[in-house]
Each structure stands twice: as structure tokens, then as C-alpha cells.
Amino acid sequence: MPKLLVLLQNVHDYVHDLPMKSNYSGPYIYTGNVDIKAWSTLSKLAKEEALSKEWYVYYSFRNPKTGKLVRQTNIKTGVNSLKTKQERFAKLATIQDNLLFLLKRGFNPYADNSILEEKTFQKLDAEINGTTTAPVAKEKKHEKIPVLKVPKTKVVVENEKSIKEAFQFGLKIKQNVLGATSYSGFHGRINRFLTWLDKNGSSSDKISTLEKKTFINYLNYVLENTSASNRNNTRTDLSALVQTLVDNELMNDNYVKSINVLKSAPERNKTYSVTQEKDILEYIEQNDAILLLYIQFITYNFLRPVEVNRLKIGDLDLEGKKLFVRAKNKAVKVKIIPQKIIDLLPDLSNMDPNHYLFTPTAIGAEWKAEENNRRDNFSKKFKLVKDHFKLNKDYGLYSFRHTAITNLYREIRKTKTSHEAKSILMGITGHQTIEALEKYLRDIDAELPDDYSHLLR
């Protein structure tokens, strides 16, 4: 690979291509999963997202042992340090042209390319200086380059990381881009894979020995011992980590991407009936004032429980009636605080803005606990309520959000069309697209038809 980079960086744009049997596909340019021809039509956000990804040139070459085309290491050569589309694409286009030049002249990543290297530099010397350091045979237009023989000895990559070392490297990168809660689950799934691998092989093997079949076997193991949903989530996390290794040129391909996703029935809390909600809230009002206000934030502000857990005193702008929420789908989103919530709050003016709004024993206090522990605290509080009412696993704190959105949507629908109601609701719930909101409403059965008895015979 280092010799290929040297050739790519120095080869002249030599345009006379020689015909030869194709043992490769590409090279192609990856531009952040967007059509570069439609760049001018993209939004600013879409452009920024594309530029935040790794751009590179990639190609495949026929493995002499298997006869199959194999994806080779992505070629970046520092292109992602360039900040504009024009700079990146211009450099990648040059790399693409130069790589095609070399491939057509017999470059073979599985072979010794010293002959090609010598001839290439001789031609460069001839063009740049008008002389050559050694005689160069004059090329005939249709002369075929002899196929280079592949050495029988196995190619050994110096300083190649083991599977465990590579995965630990990937985890360090992911730790810097994921939130604490997301990383905790991600880290756990990756470590469980490594533990399984040591029982069924060895994580000390070189990363190049890791095959798609290994991932398939592990995902089947997860499916047999847990659920299709957990298997799919494990596949997603493994794919994310392997893609990080591919982007950092520790692996050639992300095999996990091509593994199928299984059908699974997602578990979603049910909505409460009118009677259930009334009885539960009356009981909590008599027994736990902090839990009651916690649920009212879910109900009146349509927040997810995890979003309520993250609220700090400084996140509430009572004068401007604004709430700054750390959501799952973007860093911070702003929601209005309805007057109904403001009327329920104690005086927050003298409280530390860095203290959490909800703690086990007080509103607005210091609480040194991980996010998972803060979430579990309120889940356990509500578990006592569930036990009192003999509610099963289908009901939870999330049910209050589903119930509130269902009630609000049906109330708006009394005077508005379905489309108008969804447009109003979208600004309240925080869903990013109308399609996402519609899917959510279908999942919680928020929209039911009118009584159709008159249609029955």
C-alpha cells in the first residue's frame, strides 16, 4: 500500500491507456453519500453533513487465489482535512485518474510492483527533465503489459493490530462521539462480542482474519439467547464500529452492513385509559409530589422520560417560557413551557442553574449520579405505583407521553383536518418530519375511525 501511495502522489497524468484484461472495478469516488452533481441543489445542512463524513477513492481487485473481486483499502491521502467540496473533489478526482492510470498499466495490490514502479518513475524523469536515468523502451500503442506473477508466499502486513486491539481503538473513537448513555450500551455490546470470540476463537488473532461468517455466527448466538430486536441492535453497533475501522484503514470492508436485518415487533408502552390516568395521578399526588411533577413534565411538555432526567435549573427560561431539552435526535432543542407547568413549579430563582431539576428527594438539587442511575431511580419509584395498580410491563412512564399526545391529537381533530392537526402537533411534540409523526401516531393508535355502525348490515 505505501508504494501505491507514492505512485499516486507522483504519477503524471499520462493519457494514453493500454488495453488489458480487467482484473479490477473502479476506481470510484465516495463523497459522503450524496450525488456530487446535485451539490448545488442541496441544503446547507445536507452539505455540512456530507462534508462531516470521510471522502475517499475506492476500488476492487481480483484476488488471485479466489478469482473474486475484493474491495481494497480506501485511499484518502489527507483529503478530509480540506474543508470545501471543490478542494476535496478536485484532489479525489486526481487520485482517481492516477489510480486508473496505474491499474491499466498492471498495478496489482497482490503482487510485486517494482517493475511498474521503475518504469513509471523513468517516464516521469523523462518528461520532467528531458532525460532518463535508464533506457526506457518505447511504448507501442497496442502493446500489452505482461501479467505480473503473484508470489506464492502470503502477504504479511507489518504491525497489524489484533482484533481486540483494533476494536479497542474503535471504542476510543466512539467514546468521543457518543453520549455517555449511548456509549455505555455500545461498549457493552462490543465487549460481549469480544468475550464470545475468545470462547469460540481468539480476539488475539489479526484483524485481517475476521470474516463475515464470524459476525453471522455471533448474531445467531444473540438471537437464540435474547430476541430479534436485541440481535438487530447488536448488528447496528457492530456495523458502526467496523465502519470506524474501515474509515481508519484497519479493515478493508464492512461485512456487517450486508448482513440482513430481521423482522422484530418493537415493544411500545400502551396508552392509559381515562380512568386509569385519573386514578394513577390521584394516587401519586397523595404519595410522591416529586414523581407527580416529573410525570406532569412528560404530560404537558410531551417529553420523553430520559429528557426530563436531563433537565437542569438553567434549562428553564421561565420569563421567556422556553425549555432547552437535550434530545436524542439533536444536541439541544427548544420547546415552549406551557403556563400550566409554570404554575406548578416552585420558586427557582435562587437555585443553582447547574443543579438537576429532579432529584430523589428535592426539586433543584445536586445529584452526582450517572444518567442510567437517574433514570432507574424514577423507574423504580413508578414501579411501586404499577404494583399498587397491578399494571403489567405494557405500561410505564412513557405511557403518559403516548396518552397526552393521543388526547391532544384527538382534541385538535375535532375542528381541524388530519393534515392540519398533524402540522400543529408536529411543532408541539418535536418530531422532525411529518412522516415520523404519522408513524408514531399509527404505532400508538392515536387516530381511530368514527363509529361505522351505520355502514354495517
Task: Locate 332 and state its grid cell.
Answer: 439541544
Closest CA to 171 of 237, 254, 234, 229: 237
- What local confidence, expressed as pLDDT, does residue 156 receive? 42
pLDDT at 131: 47
Helices marked H in 311-417? 339-344, 371-389, 398-412
- The C-alpha cell at 147 is 501479467
Of 159, 147, 158, 71, nearest to 115 by C-alpha is 147
% of the chain residues with pLDDT over 90: 40
The pLDDT of residue 437 is 87
- Does position 134 have pLDDT exceeding 50, yes or no? no
CB within 8 Å of 291: residues ≥ 6 apart: 284, 378, 381, 382, 385
Query: What 3-state DSSP class applies to 404?
Result: helix
Q: Each residue of 277-325: pLDDT tens digit?
A: 999 999 999 999 999 999 999 999 999 898 999 999 999 999 999 999 8
Min mean pLDDT across 142-151, 171-180, 228-237 is at: 142-151
Global model pTM greater than 0.85: no
Say what the pLDDT of residue 171 is: 94
Q: How confident is the model at residue 453 (pLDDT cuts 50, 70, 90)?
A: confident
Q: What 3-state DSSP class applies to 356?
A: strand
90 or 388, higher pLDDT: 388
pLDDT at 7 (0 to 100): 56
The answer to whether the peptide bond before residue 449 is cis (omega within 30 degrees of 0) is no
Q: Is 437 exposed, middle or buried (0-12, 13-18, 19+ CB in 10 A)?
A: buried
pLDDT band at 327 (very low <50, low <70, confident <90, very high): low
pLDDT in tens, 17-69: 444 457 888 888 888 777 887 777 887 777 887 888 888 888 888 888 887 88
Give CA–CA dist 126/13, Å, rounded: 14
Beta bridge partners of 324: 334
**Is 60 exceeded by the pLDDT of residue 141?**
no
Cβ–Cβ < 8 Å for 360, 341 = no
The pLDDT value given to residue 108: 81
Least reliable range by pLDDT among 89-98, 129-138, 230-239, 399-408: 129-138
Cell digits of residue 213: 461468517
How many helices (H) and strands (E) would you count in the chain?
16, 8
Whether 246 and 30 have beta carbons less than 8 Å apart is answered as no
Check residue 364 and give its pLDDT.
Answer: 93
CA distance 142 to 115: 19
- The whole-number pLDDT of residue 76 equals 81
* Helix (H/G/I), strand (E/B), else coil: 354: coil
pLDDT above 90 for 400: yes
Core vs surface per residue 401-429: b (16+ CB within 10 A) or e: bbbbbbbbbeebbeeeeeeebbeebbebb
Of the listed ranges 153-167, 237-251, 318-332, the least confidently predicted one is 153-167
Asked if the model's pLDDT at residue 158 lies above 60, the reply is no
Question: pLDDT tens digits, residue range 205-232?
Answer: 999 999 999 999 999 999 999 888 899 9
Is 178's pLDDT higher than 60?
yes
- pLDDT greater at residue 143 or residue 199: 199
3-state secondary structure of 127: helix
Bigger pLDDT: 297 or 94?
297
One-letter amino acid identity for 433?
T
Write down the pLDDT at residue 9: 55
| Band of pLDDT at residue 138, cut at 50, 70 and 90 | very low
Residue closest to 306 by CA, chosen among 186, 179, 407, 427: 179
Highest mean pLDDT out of 71-80, 93-102, 187-196: 187-196
pLDDT at position 137: 44
How does residue 10 score in pLDDT terms, banded at 50, 70 and 90?
low
Could you give the CA distance from residue 218 to residue 59 in angstroms, rounded to a whole number?
A: 29
Considering the chain, what is the average pLDDT of its residues? 82
Residue given cell 471543490 in the structure block: 86
Angstrom distance (rounded) from CA 384 to CA 122 = 81
- Residue, of 152 and 229, whose pLDDT is higher: 229
- Lowest mean pLDDT across 37-41, 121-125, 175-179: 121-125
